[in-house]
Amino acid sequence: MAEKKTLGQEFSKGLIKENPVLRLVLGTCPTLAVSTSIENAIGMGIAATLVLICSNIVISALKKVIPNKVRIPCYIVVIAAFVTIVQLLVKAFAPDLDASLGIYLPLIVVNCIILGRAEGFANKNSVIASAVDGIGMGVGFTIALTLMAAVREFFGSGNLTLKVLGFGTTLTDIFGLGEKDVLTAIGLEPILIFILAPGGFFTFGLLMACANKLAEKNGKPKAELKGCEACPMAATCAMKADGKECAE
Amino acid sequence: MELNNKLTVSASPHVKSAETTTGIMLDVIIALIPAGVASIFVFGLKALAVIAVSVAACVLAEFLSRKAMKREQTIGDLSAVVTGLLLAYNLPATMPLWEVALGAVIAIVVVKQMFGGIGQNFVNPALLARIVLMSAFPARMSAGAMAGTNITGWDVEAATGATPMGMISLADGLKDGAPSLMDMFIGTTSGCLGEVSALALMLGGLYLIIRKVISPIIPVAYIGTVAIITLIAFGDVNAMLYEVLGGGLMIGAIFMATDYTTSPITNKGKWIYAICAGLLTCLIRLFGSLPEGVSFSIIIMNILVPHIENATKPTIFGTVKEKKNKEADA
């Protein structure tokens, strides 16, 4: 974080270059758990993005008030407050989504992306930059989740639920297949393992490889780094920001 | 110049031998032929199609992935053909051919080439592909085609039944309608292509042992462990023979567990590896919810091989065995 970035760059870095899931490898637990259908993925992405933007703004605004020694508990309190609001909203207006996300909705509190951005970005940047960072990271998270869900759902169940918060359609409805799924209709059959955990890890690995390739093309050097630069947490590491090297 | 051509400059070991990877793989292919012939005889042309697609897809996947990674071609060493044959022998004849090809791609690209090609795979490629296909298409993999119903037929889906391993359990013993031991020995029962004929597999195993391609330790210890444990568990020689001849134990112990890359080098290591694999197989068969556990137990032992190697490292020639001295460590 040497040179100052423009707001546009703060936003766009979250999409590919510093995509929270595919490049920083944060928030992998909800990524693997809810990326079994596009509807869930988008719902989760929106919920996490809302929390991320709000907590980034508040933490950035309070960065001079919060004592350094107890900053993590303070962040968690702020994040938990917003998660509760989002959870109650989802429960009230999208009960189906609440049912399918289950425990992963309240678990946004401990989502590393949100705490990571609070620790690594919001506590040393302006309110506006933090808000933009939150939007960029949130969109990056949603894109990664949706891509993974698209691959897993299509191969795993032969269908795509192109729905946002209950509105929209499914791939089988578009083709008018009724009960049949798309893969069965063209003479193949759904590959169940994509819906299961191993398929999730496999898709995750392939998407990470693609993101690395894309990020390198965009001018970032190949990831052969030493010391702090090699650490996946470097972008959000508090010790590095203080100018210290960690033990590893 | 002439000197350069006659001398090979390389790191040790400097043992010269006519043995090549291609030669060993060719021996394995020869050893696998009887089981292939038996499967075609039992299941008909569909079995031939599964074998052909599996081998072709493996070789093609190896060729394309080496090309894409810009590495030298290795299809000449025939290891992809062996993987293709083993994969086909681990699938039922009713498997749709595109799923067979998918399994071949997983074996070669994901398990073998992504980890660095021949000699670098951390588990047996054909076995892992079988497990992936088992999780991907559970219904397809558990239904074995019945034997003798389909010498030329392609539509064999109607004639499927429980594989022999589904007919025996610790609670009920042998169920009625289970195939006779003789049928299982010769191979006229249901199951995966290479599972059915214990006789053909034993012939192949004998050839490999005589040609010194594999050491008899792993197959003998593996099958022996399963035999002893099932004999104790069932208290019945018939049930014991049934467990030994049925399922993937023969092909697993002879052809899959003995893979050079994923089995220990030392004899002591081989004993540990094979006995543990036998224990795991019995645990899964007798107490697990799956009827068959050979593939999982071999994969688990494959992953443990580096630790077995570490524990059974022989003393280096000319040195004494290191004594455990805690004070020296501190």
* Chain B contact probe: residue of A193, A194, A203, A213 with most B CBs at under 10 A: A193
CA distance A184 to chain B (A): 12
Residue B330 in domain? no
Residue B6 in domain? no
pTM of the predicted structure, to 2 decimals:
0.78
Tell me which amino acid residue A226 is.
Answer: K
Lowest mean pLDDT among A15-29, A62-76, B55-69, B92-106: A15-29
Instruction: Find the CB nearest A192 among B102, B110, B137.
Output: B137
Lowest mean pLDDT among A43-57, A90-104, B298-312: A90-104
- Under 8 Å CB pairs connecting chains A and B tally to 20
Between B3 and A29, the more confident residue is A29
Q: Find the helix or strand (DSSP H, E) in which B45 lies.
A: helix B45-68
pLDDT average per 10 residues of sequence, chain B (330 residues): 62 73 88 87 84 93 89 84 90 85 90 85 89 82 53 40 59 62 67 78 90 89 91 83 81 88 88 92 83 85 91 80 55
Residue B4 in domain? no
Confidence class for position A243, pLDDT limits 50, 70, 90:
low
Characterize the bridge pairing of strands B168-169 and B173-174. Answer: antiparallel
Range of the domain at B264: 21-311
B-contacting residues in A 187-246 (Cβ below 8 Å): 188-189, 191-194, 196, 198, 202
Please give the Cα distance from B141 to B134 (Å, whole number): 6
User: Is B135 in contact with A198 (Cβ distance < 8 A)?
Assistant: yes
Per DSSP, the residues of B189-208 read S-BBGGGS-HHHHHHHHHHH
Report the CATH number at residue B192: 1.10.3430
Per DSSP, the residues of B252-287 read IIIIITT-STTS-SSHHHHHHHHHHHHHHHHHHHHH
ipTM value > 0.85 = no
Which ranges in chain A belong to alpha helices (H)? 7-12, 28-34, 38-61, 71-93, 95-101, 112-120, 127-157, 171-175, 182-185, 197-217, 238-241
Q: For chain B, what is the domain count? A: 1
User: Is A192 in contact with B96 (Cβ distance < 8 A)?
Assistant: no
Q: Is A71 exposed, middle or buried (0-12, 13-18, 19+ CB in 10 A)?
A: middle
**Chain A residue with the nearest C-alpha to that of B132:** A193
Please give the Cα distance from B206 to B202 (Å, whole number): 6
Instruction: Find the CB nearest A193 among B96, B98, B135.
Output: B135
Instruction: Find the CB nearest A196 among B99, B102, B135.
Output: B135
Q: What is the pLDDT of residue A53?
A: 93
C-alpha distances (whole Å) from A159 to each of A173, A174, A177, A182, B85 are: 9, 10, 10, 6, 33
CA distance A157 to chain B (A): 11
CA distance B153 to chain A (A): 20
Residue B278 in domain? yes
Q: Find the helix or strand (DSSP H, E) in which B22 lies.
A: helix B21-43
Q: Is A170 helix (H, G, I), strand (E, B) or coil?
A: strand
Q: Is B315 helix (H, G, I), strand (E, B) or coil?
A: coil
Average pLDDT over residues A66-76: 90
User: Is A189 in contact with B135 (Cβ distance < 8 A)?
Assistant: no
A-contacting residues in B 121-160 (Cβ below 8 Å): 132, 135-138
| Domain residue ranges of chain A, discontinuous segments joined by + | 7-241
